[in-house]
Amino acid sequence: MKRTLWLLILLLALTVTGCRDTSTTSRELFAMDTVMNLTVYQPRAESLLNQAEQEIRRLEALLSVTDPGSEIAAVNRRSATTVTVSQETADLLRLCLGFSEETHGLFDITVYPAVKAWGFTQDTHTVPSEEALAQLVTQIGYEKMAVTDSTVTLPQGMAVDMGGIAKGYAADRIAALWKEAGCTGGILSLGGNVLTVGEKPDGSLFQIAIQDPADAGGMLATLSLPGNTAVVTSGDYQRYFEQDGKRYHHIIDPRTAAPAENSLTSVTVITSCAARGDALATALFVMGLEEGLNYVNQTAGVEAVFVTKQSRVYYTTGLAEGLTPESQQYTFTQKN
Ligand code: AMP
Ligand code: MG
């Protein structure tokens, strides 16, 4: 499904740049459990792509909850309440604590016990009992975590999960590395996290497709956006399992330890920092439509597109110019 999203973006990029264009260099890779695509608007830019791929692999090895060699896995299997971590992991966990505070715990970096209990990291899915869920709720709570420059303190029974921001963070890191290396423009698509970097050679806006949540091959809308803009989507179609006719997806409401249940099927956040956009997309999905719209309208520098299961699309004022509907299956409404 994520591959399809990328193909849509690639298609758009090709439409804009011309099919036999040799002035771009692209690469597709699989990492962080998703398909990723990297494009630089320069010929023979393999070294930039190598640098990006190395950074993705480095972050995956650092942050994966399932790789026993990662620092996050080491934090999660700590035997003492306080463990030592690298400065980068400490900085990143602090960033995540900030996002958890900002979203009043709807993005919660300590959600891992629930993610694990539902089997989303092992792909052996189970629906926990009511008692198990009640117990899991007590094991989630970012307020109980403390981070210094080199240590993490977390009560036993609790664990962290970077899955809700790792791809966004990776996109920000690559953009910074590319700029340092003199890259003038490119586009990153890391499984639902798109980041436009710098400028396109002709100075035109970037065209980014939002996937139709109900049709893996279809486009919901396109966004015309400037460079250095993150477009991050969280959706109930991205990772889920079905049992007894019910869909259980991977975005957990920390208040119930169960998949968030409301009218939404996807949320796309548009903002400058991809890591923050990633955390916000996850949090807004949990928040739901009404509260989510209010939240975005009161937050400077953030726009969003909310899609409901009833095929309604609501988008915030800042997208009035930039959003073009692409599917007639949906009704589109701008919301102030
Ligand atoms: P995303 O695709 O960015 O919405 O992230 C979903 C992933 O983040 C899940 O697969 C979990 O690993 C993790 N996650 C799920 N629910 C939450 C939450 N409420 N807060 C933080 N991380 C979450
Ligand atoms: Mg996210």
Distance between Cα 147 and ligand 2 center (Å): 21
Amino acid (one-letter) located at 176: A
What's the confidence (pLDDT) of residue 122? 83
Query: For the chain, which residues score pLDDT lower than 70?
Result: 1-22
What's the confidence (pLDDT) of residue 17? 46
What's the confidence (pLDDT) of residue 12? 56
Q: Which residue has the CA at smallest separation from atom 20 of ligand 1?
A: 107
What's the confidence (pLDDT) of residue 119? 94
Distance between Cα 285 and ligand 1 center (Å): 10
For residue 315, give the nearest of 333, 289, 327 by alpha carbon: 333
HSE toward the beta carbon, residue 84, CA cutoff 13 A = 0
Residue to mutate (ligand 1; options 112, 122, 251, 265; most atoms within 8 A of CB): 251
108 lines ligand 1 (CB under 6 A): yes
Distance between Cα 54 and ligand 1 center (Å): 24
What are phi and psi for residue 42, nearest 5 degrees?
-150, 145
What's the confidence (pLDDT) of residue 211? 95
107 lines ligand 1 (CB under 6 A): yes
How is residue 319 annotated by DSSP? G
| Contact between 28 and 39 (Cβ < 8 Å) | no
Is the Cα torsion angle 94, 180, 64, 189 positive or negative in sign?
positive
Q: Which residue has the CA at smallest separation from atom 19 of ligand 1?
A: 107
What are phi and psi for residue 28, nearest 5 degrees?
-110, 140
Q: Which residues surround ligand 2, an ion (CB under 5 A)?
A: 164, 278, 281-282
With a CB cutoff of 8 Å and minimum separation 6, the contacts of 320 are 334
111 lines ligand 1 (CB under 6 A): yes
Amino acid (one-letter) located at 16: V
Distance between Cα 328 and ligand 2 center (Å): 27
What are phi and psi for residue 213, nearest 5 degrees?
-60, -20
What digits encode the pLDDT tens for the residues 237-256? 899 999 989 999 999 999 99
With a CB cutoff of 8 Å and minimum separation 6, the contacts of 298 are none
279 lines ligand 1 (CB under 6 A): no
What are phi and psi for residue 160, nearest 5 degrees?
-105, 160
Distance between Cα 234 and ligand 2 center (Å): 6
Token pair of 148, please?
Answer: 């210094």
259 lines ligand 1 (CB under 6 A): no
250 lines ligand 1 (CB under 6 A): yes
Which residue(s) pair with 34 in the sheet?
A: 31
The Cα–Cα gap between 221 and 210 comes to: 5
Token pair of 110, please?
Answer: 């300590």
